[in-house]
Structures are given as C-alpha cells and as structure tokens.
Structure 1
C-alpha cells in the first residue's frame, strides 16, 4: 500500500513544469517546506535554499501564497537549473488549512513553519523539511506519494 495524499492546488507557475508532454512538475525524492504565511521575499529563505541546492535534491514549497519577487526568483533559479523547485498554495482555508498543513507535515515528517510559535524562516534547517518519494503537480492538483512520516502517526 502506497501512502500519500492529493489536494486541489496546482503549481503557481507553468515554469515549474518538468514534463511538458503531461504538463506536470515531477519531483523525485524532494524536500518539502511547509510555511503557513505568504512568501513575497526569499531573503529569509536563502540559508535553507543554499542547503537544498547543496543536497542536489528538489524542493517543494507549500505556503499560503508565493508571490512577486519570491515567485520570480524561484522561476529564474528553476530555469537556470540551479534549483529544482516548485511552489503551490496551501490547501483549504482558515482552520481547515492549518489542519491540512499539519496533516502534510505528519505525512512527510516535516515541520509546519509557524511564526506564531516563534519559528523563523531564517532559522529553518534541512531537518525541519518534510520528504516524500515523489510529488507530482498539475495545473489543478498536487499529489504527494510515499511521504516519509511515521506509519503509526499517519494512521492516527
């Protein structure tokens, strides 16, 4: 049995597509960053982006939104080939969104970065990121396959 989840949010830019025939972004063995707020500036994320580039693994960013300069910078880095990255909006709204993000955190064994709890993007390390065997993102949906979370926690 493959454990995974699907939610109805697609890529934030078609430039994240890796398979132009199927028009999907396919990330193999990606790190997954879960951020509860909007990202409009990547400056605070530079340390974690550097660490991900060093690891040579792809990165999926799931946030309330990724906009403006932050989105443009991710697209440019994706196109230049330095960073295999894709970004999607967090699923759901309000309290349901937080619950869904916590569910993704459990599935992928990552941490939901919440500033209310005093967590800052500048201080996020690779250990805080979730992982999965594969993520496939279409224009409408995101599918996370085989998250590396603890089986017992996922079933609860």
Structure 2
C-alpha cells in the first residue's frame, strides 16, 4: 500500500508540474480507486474455512502462526458478523475471551440485588425482562407486573432509563425478603441510541419496549409484554443476556435493518456503534488479550495482531 501511495504521489506531481488541473487529477484518482477495488473484488478468493483464515492471519503477522491460529479461533467463535477486539493482556500468554449472548456496559443499580456473593454478581435463571424507555421512581406503576411475575414464580430483570427512589428501595426489600427475585440495570446508550438498543434487546428476547411515546404504560404491562432469556448475568459494570427467546427471523430482520443504517451512515463513529449492535444481535464479541514479557514487546505484538485482524 505504501509503495502504491508513493507511486501515485510521484506520478501525480509530474502531471501537475506538466500543467494538469489538480482537481481533475484528484477526480481521476478517485475513479481509478473505485475501478481498482471492483477488479480486486473479482480476483479475490473468500476464506472458506478456519485453516485459510489462519494462513491469511499468519502472513499478515510476519509469519507468526500463533497469531494466525488465535484469529481463526476468534472468527470461528463469533462468526462473520461478530466483533473482534485486541487488548493488552496482563500475563505472558495470549488469551481469547468470548462473550456469549448480548453484553452491554451497565451494571446493577444496587448491590443488594447480588445473589452470588462469592463472585459479586447476580445470576437469573429463565427470567422475565421488562424493557422501559423511562425513569421509574413510583413503585405503584410497577405493582401489576410485579404481582404477575411473583405468581409465575420467575425472576425479573428490569432494564430502564433509570430506577430510583421509592421504586428501587421497594424492589430491594422484595428481593431480600424473597417475595420476588428482581434485578435492575440502566438501559445502554443515550438518547436515540438508547431507544434503538432497547429495541434490539426487545427483538432478541421477544419482548416489547414500554414507551409512552407509542401509548404503552407501565401500569398496563402484562407478562406478554415481557421478554425472556435462558439466563442473565449481571456484575458491577456489565450485563449479559444469554439465549434470548426471540424469533430468529425477527432477529435477522433487525440485523438487515441495522446493516442498511451502516451503509447510509457518514460518520465512522456511527458505523462502529452500528456494527457493534449487529455483533451483539447476530454474532458475538471476542477479545484477544496479547501477552508479552515487556511493554515494548507487548506494543509491537499488539500492532501485529491488529494488522493480521484487518487482513
């Protein structure tokens, strides 16, 4: 790529020195790039299996087969739609962490919800999931749905803009007394992105986002409006929803819709956030933690892994 760029600069400067209009030259380069990329796509051979992916990764990582194998494993775990990130590890060995299910960066709103003190986390088996695009501070709004969940004998996860004051205190008391097992977390994102991510979770869990904007009220919420999942794990900073019961066709439809938004997005930041949403819905998230003996070696190796990943 560097050699090509140098050649374009050298030949371009010659053309400008000979009297060519620089803007015409720029437009010509843009057209040539599009044509060259299309031709390369025709010539390219897709990687059909893990072995081929490992070979590409190995070559791009300066013939380091360990890096190639690590990337192949990560891609096998999360699929083509998954997101793979590279971080600096804390030991000498490379590690691969794969997050199963949908994870978002919001932890429990009260440590009194914790039911696994040995790990400092909350684990809910086959919970109902209430999705609310509003702040919940009045417990009276929630009484009908809490009573229905208690009768069903299942735990409840509440994902809302916020749960505070009297509502949070009452949920904590109910949990500690064993009346109903509840956990509450803030919804991920802010503003329109929060609304979109709540809808993603609703699709994944076959639930409905309770929003006054579309005429749905918390007091009238029934069990049919709640999402469900096989398991939910919550700690101080993250929430993981595992095996949502959402319809596969609905999830794929949502993924297609987000992919279209990626095509239309103009900002790299927006594209990155949208791609993360696709990964959470359709693939997964894998983290490669690079191990090394010194900081210099760590940075050099991390750069090689990133190069191999982009390849």
Question: Which residue number in structure 2 is paired with residue 45 of structure 1?
Answer: 142
Partner of 2:194: 97
> Superposition RMSD on alpha carbons, in Å?
1.3
Q: Which runs of 5+ in 2 are unaligned?
A: 1-76, 79-99, 256-311
**Residue 119 (structure 1) aligned to one of 197, 204, 216:** 216
Alignment counterpart, residue 161 of structure 2, candidates 45, 64, 80: 64
Cα deviation 1:9-58 (Å, max 9, x = unaligned): 00000001010000000000000000000000110111110000000000
1:78 matched residue in structure 2: 175
Q: Higher relative contact order by CA 8 Å / sep ≥ 6: 1 or 2?
A: 1
Q: Tell me the equivalent position of 2:239.
A: 142
Over 4 Å off, 4+ runs: none
SS at match of 1:33: strand
Larger radius of gyration: 2
How far the C-alpha of 1:136 sits from its partner, in A, is 0.2
Query: Post-superposition shift, 1:4?
Result: 2.1
Give the TM-score normalised by structure 1: 0.97
> How far does residue 110 in structure 1 lie from its aligned partner after superposition?
0.1
Q: Determine which of 16, 23, 30 is the counterpart of 2:113.
A: 16
| TM, length-normalised to structure 2 | 0.49
Structure 1: runs of 5+ lacking an equivalent = none
- Return the structure number with greater helix share: 2
Say how many residue pairs are matched: 156
Going by fraction, where is strand more abundant, 1 or 2? Answer: 1
* 1:151 to partner: Cα distance: 1.1
